[in-house]
Structure 1
Amino acid sequence: MADQLHILNSYKKDFDLIDHAFIYMKFENDFKRREIKPDHALVNLKHTFKFKIKNYIRLLKYANGIGLFDVVKNMIYGKRPQNNGEEEPNPEEQHRLVLEYLDNFKAVVERYGFNKEKNTFLLDKRKTSPLFIEHCGKMGYKYLDFGPAFEKETKPTILIYDRHWNNRG
């Protein structure tokens, strides 16, 4: 969210020409930070030989993403947990994270601003903290919940190889 609001603020003249903007957000990962910090290590990494090779063999990444290699991995390593081995945070930790993310959002809005009239959040309310939804109501921030439409859909709404929305999404 810091990146998105930073871009809206940095290119204010351009965005002023747009009547309305929908800002897609995922509560579980868009509020992890309250400011933009350049990641010089990542920029340097993108210029390495290993990174360039990886970009040229994206097909392997897609094949892995759709489970093409799961049979082989399961034979070698045994059945792996669906959550990639990460434990779900306990309720207290989850609540602490929600409060931290909400504070981060407030800090980002304070830093970059937010035009309530021209911007609407595009979110899945099923995966968004009720505290964030409540905060939006208090502050007059609009949101569009696409969750009910996705629930009605009987076929996949995402692409199998990179998890972006397909034409049903």
Structure 2
Amino acid sequence: MGDFVQHTEVKSAIRTLADPIEDIASFDALVQSVIATNPFGCVPYISAGVTHAPVEKAKESYVVKILYQDNEAKVVGNDSGKFNTVAGFNAGAAALLADTALAAAHGGIPARDIESETYSATIKCHDQNGELYDLTFTRSKVSLTSYEDDAIRAKVEAWADTVPALA
């Protein structure tokens, strides 16, 4: 019987943020900035005959939270909606807030619970050394996964040190 022999040393690293990212607009601006500016010097690549950008969004998920309050500001209900785009999130939030039948069913006035909302976006990057790695942003942390070369972590960390929201 043959033994399994390790071929790679895949690593992950997490940066926990001192303060959560304030809102969806700030979160989206951060993610779009990484895609637009490619601060890690990533390069395009071809996989299964498909050409990929150096930095591209691989997946995303956004959850809006709504509280319903009575006239004394007591919470009488809640609702949430999960969306796979920022545009869907914004449209969904507006639709939930405008839904008078839903508000009547809850017996309260709807209001956003922004502090409880969750955002997540994963960016796939193709390093100059040929490695593919993921950078996942949430409101409270940034995760770097599936990398081998410590120079990748150093690049990401140096960049994150320059972004006030990632302190």
TM-score tier by shorter-chain length is under 0.3
Flag the structure with higher helix content. 1
Name the TM-score, length of structure 1 as normaliser.
Answer: 0.25
Flag the structure with higher strand content. 2
